Structure 1
Amino acid sequence: MTESWMAEALCRHFPMQTWIVEPEDRTSASTAALSAVCLSCPVRPACAGYVLRKGIVSGFWAGADRSPSNVTDRADGAA
């Protein structure tokens, strides 16, 4: 099921970015590009809340890597 806020997410306009690549397989330039998109995204707080509710522990969501070692309990979109 798609959440309504996802229609407004900036990442949908950047399908070639490496959103699902794990941190160790991503370049620092790629990570910076992902971060730049997330930092200007109007739905970043909703995205952060979504990953917490769903327990997502992979990929790049709400401006942060969601690997188990990087996951925090913040729902405000702060990395």
Structure 2
Amino acid sequence: MTALSRSARWAALESVWCQAADAAARRPLGSVAWQALGSCGARTDLPWTSDPEDIGPWDAESMRALCRSCPVLADCAAYVDTSGVSAGWWAGTNRDPAYAEPARPGWVKAHGASDGQPAWQGVLPFGGAA
């Protein structure tokens, strides 16, 4: 058996403590402690609980992207399924039944771009009749 240095032992012990804390915080038995680990907690600038008509396509896309990379996305989705959430943005989608998904922003080939050197421009769909 190889003896570990004091710093290596400390690092191994710290790793075990962190893993245990993560596991304890993510227990699904009615606990919502996992929410503290969510990416959304640090992004108070996004309209997570706004009325559906106040969420624009760029905000929706920003929230959707943040949810995709969230370390507790599975916990969030499980919570939504078990608790019957019916309002706010959870697990990548707005859970309000009155919410109509806005058209998603996208990219189109820019006018006058050649096939050899395509140029792309962003497109934001606008709602409402002119």
TM range (shorter): 0.7 to 0.9
* Pick aligned residue for 2:52 from 3, 8, 23: 23
In the other structure, the counterpart of 1:38 is 67
Deviation readout 1:39-74 (Å, 9 max, x if unpaired): 10010010011112221111110001101267xxxx
* Structure 2, unpaired ranges of 5+: 1-29, 100-130
**Whole-angstrom distance in 1 between the partners of 2:45 and 2:73:** 19
TM-score by length of 1: 0.77
* Pick aligned residue for 2:93 from 64, 68, 71: 64
Higher Rg = 2
* Shift in Å, 1:27: 0.6
**Larger RCO, structure (CA 8 Å, separation 6 or more):** 1
Deviation readout 1:10-36 (Å, 9 max, x if unpaired): 000101210001332211011011111
Q: Which runs of 4+ in 1 moved over 3 A?
A: none
Percent sequence identity over aligned pairs: 34
* Structure 1, unpaired ranges of 5+: 71-79
- Structure number having the greater strand percentage: 2
